[in-house]
Structure 1
């Protein structure tokens, strides 16, 4: 048997549930209608990226790796020392 730890919380909110149900019934009896709209998407689209480029921003670019030819030259220089 399962006993919820939140049972007292459920019972505390019972008066609000009854009140909402009563007001909903009054609204419908007075000729009101309930419209159930489309549910929102779970993940909203990301914000649009700005096309503005700040001229003061210094772009940090990665230097290209050393080529095999440059590596050979460095080895020859190191051996000469």
Structure 2
């Protein structure tokens, strides 16, 4: 163990010794330690669904009236 804080190393020494003792007891009792491959660092996200729910599809706003359409609408409103 390398540490700039020797007191921290010595502070954790009893816990490390206890773990080492438990490992030794496990191996003495016939236990085996298996080295497994490490899991990927970034798991692959689940695939996206190709199904689109019609209720969730956004409704597009109709385009705004052009200047000519607003003038024609104003003229129709004044005629009434």
TM value normalised by structure 2: 0.58
Query: What value does the CA root-mean-square deviation take over the aligned residues?
Result: 2.3
1:41 paired residue number: 40
Unaligned 5+ runs, structure 1: 61-81
**Paired positions, count:** 58
For residue 25 of structure 1, what is the aligned residue in structure 2?
A: 24
Runs (4+) off by over 6 Å = none
Q: Which has the higher helix share?
A: 2
Q: Structure 2: 5+ residue runs without aligned partners?
A: 61-80
| Distance in 1 of aligned mates of 2:7 and 2:53 | 57
Q: What's the CA shift string for 1:8-47, capped at 9, x where partnerless?
A: 3322221111001001111111111111111111221112
With the length of structure 1 as denominator, give the TM-score of the two structures: 0.57
